[in-house]
Amino acid sequence: MPRKQEIATSIAEGKGKEEILTAYVAKFGEKVLSAPTTTGFNLAAWITPFLALLVGGIIVSLISLRWNRKRTLEEPKPTVVSEITDEYRAQLKKELERFEG
């Protein structure tokens, strides 16, 4: 309650909001503000968490891309039979003739 009285007294003396805030910050430090100022070292306190999240996201993305590429290169590729032997070709021809005829 005493602080409310101090503020009321300051208002009655004609002091403005900024002047009252400056006096309180000088007296008690920036912890009296609902949010720290965005100048000096406090600016780093505002930016650092967001910057850390951004850098962390980029690092995780790059690592996952590298793992994905590495896994893709290591997977064995299926062998493709390009030539059908004459035996299979003859058997297929017989079965198709039997099916159609």
Tracing tokens 């009285």 back to the chain, one arrives at 5
Q: 62: pLDDT confidence band, cut at 50, 70 and 90?
A: very high
> 50 and 20 share a domain?
no
The DSSP output letter for 13 is T
> 21 and 64 share a domain?
no
> 7 and 46 share a domain?
no
Q: How many domains does the chain have?
A: 2
29: left (phi over 0), alpha (psi -120 to 50) or beta: left
> 52 and 85 share a domain?
yes
d(CA 43, CA 49): 11
Please write the tens of the pLDDT for every residue from 76-90: 666 666 566 778 888
d(CA 19, CA 25): 10
> 93 and 48 share a domain?
yes
> 23 and 66 share a domain?
no
> 62 and 14 share a domain?
no
d(CA 36, CA 44): 11
Structure confidence at residue 77 (pLDDT): 66
Structure confidence at residue 29 (pLDDT): 81
* Whole-prediction pTM: 0.41
> 3 and 16 share a domain?
yes
Q: What residues make up the domain containing 81?
A: 37-101
Please tell me the total number of residues recorded for the chain in this structure. 101
Please write the tens of the pLDDT for every residue from 13-50: 898 888 888 888 888 887 777 776 777 888 888 899 99
> Which whole-number Å values give the CA distances from 41 to 15, 44, 46, 48, 81, in the listed order?
28, 5, 9, 11, 67
> 30 and 44 share a domain?
no
